[in-house]
Amino acid sequence: MPDPVKVFVSYSHQDAEYLADDSLLGYLKGLEKEDVMLWTDRHITAGELWDNEIKANLQDSQLALVLVSQALFNFRLLSECRDQATTGPTDTPHTYHFIGL
């Protein structure tokens, strides 16, 4: 069985309603049956270094799904995550999909 495709989901916490089961990410969860794993920062547990976890999971993902809103543009971590993904090891290709909210 092939490895699951890991999708890093980037969003502003001000737009967290898009992660609800009756919204965008809820609809995409059906892809988990097709070996697609959706990763958000909600997977970070207490005591973990959130910055390290975000960067590691972004680097380990094959796709990055960026939920673009004004709140996300106002958040400086967006450019830091983009820079991390584009300067990481070249053996892991990254594809970015921007969805305007």
**Tens-level pLDDT at each residue, the chain (101 residues):** 678 899 999 888 888 888 888 988 888 888 989 999 999 999 999 999 988 999 899 989 998 888 877 776 666 555 665 565 555 555 555 666 655 55
What CA–CA distance (Å, rounded) separates 71 from 67? 10
**Calculated CA dihedral for residues 59, 35, 42, 71, nearest 10 degrees:** 70
The kind and range of the H/E element at 24 are helix 24-28
Q: Report the C-alpha gap between 31 and 52 in whole angstroms.
A: 26
Q: What pLDDT, on a 0 to 100 scale, did the predictor assign at position 76?
A: 57
Q: For the structural domain made of 5-100, what CATH number should be given? A: 3.40.50.10140
Q: Where are the domains of the chain?
A: 5-100
Instruction: Report the SS3 class of residue 41.
Output: helix
Angle (deg, nearest 10), helices 77-87 and 50-60 = 40
- Give strand ranges (E) for 11-101: 36-39, 63-68, 95-100
